[in-house]
Amino acid sequence: MIVLFELAYAFAKIGLLTLGGGMVMLPLIRREMLAHAWLSEVQFIEILGLSEATPGPLAMNCATLVGWRVAGWPGAVIATLSLAFPSFVCVMLFGMVWRRFQHHPGMSRILALLRPVMAGLIAAVALRLCRVVLGMEFEAGGWPQLVHPLLVAVAVAAVVVHGRVSPVLALLGGALAGAGLSLL
């Protein structure tokens, strides 16, 4: 019973204290998992890899898996919902406060500036991911090893820009093509 409260508290804390999601959450999740001895360092890295291969964000997958390990399926449910709960409260408060400003002309100005910022942020994440992926391949086999992942990345990007094919198909097609190319 107590362990359920510990899970709820730890994951609510992770949900509340991280702004910006993704990579920003990693250090805090790692610290909580190691401090409670819920995961070892190696297990944490494996979950990182696993959450790339399965749907869902890392923090969510971590909450589900750790909750299940520590306290069975009630633990999995409580840990997962606890992670989302602070966001729920914030979105509700945010909505109430921002309702007053909905017709303020400054709003459209801010949103017009936010769009290119989002494009830049997404491009930065993409380039960083490319660097990590290509770096791994380069270490494994030098320049020739880079050809296949580059082909996959450029092909998927082109398909997404073209916009006729579902991004899911582009993603899965890219993954299978990459796996197939690595067999050659």
Partner 1 sequence: MRDPVGHLPTGEGPSPRLAALFASFARVGGVLFGGGYAMLPLLEREVVGRRRWLTPAAMTDLFALAQVIPGVIAVNVALLAGQRLRGWRGAVAAVLGVITAPFVVMLLLAGVYDALLRHAWMARVVAGLRPAVAGLLLGTAIRLVLRNGCRAGLWAICVGVAGLTLLLDLNPVWPILAAVAAGLAGQWIGARRPRREAAP
- Write out the binding residues for partner 1, residues 48-67 only, by CB under 8 A: 49-50, 52-61, 64-65
Tell me the C-alpha distance between 45 and 144, whole Å.
28
**Is there binding between residue 144 and partner 1 (CB under 8 A)?**
no
Tell me the C-alpha distance between 47 and 61, whole Å.
8
Map tokens 């660097």 to a residue: 131
Tell me the C-alpha distance between 77 and 75, whole Å.
5
**Is there binding between residue 75 and partner 1 (CB under 8 A)?**
no
Minimum distance, C-beta of residue 125 to partner 1, in the bound complex (Å): 5
Q: Which lies closer to partner 1 via its Cβ, residue 33 or residue 76?
A: 76
Near partner 1 in 92-111, by CB under 8 A: 92, 94-96, 98-99, 101-107, 109-111
**Is there binding between residue 4 and partner 1 (CB under 8 A)?**
no
Near partner 1 in 145-184, by CB under 8 A: 148-150, 152-161, 163, 166-168, 170-183
Tell me how far the alpha carbon of residue 34 is from its chain's centroid. 20
Neighbours of 8 (CB within 10 A): 18
**Interface with partner 1 (CB under 8 A), residue from 28, 74, 130, 138:** 130
Q: How far is CA 10 from CA 5, 18, 63, in A?
A: 8, 13, 10
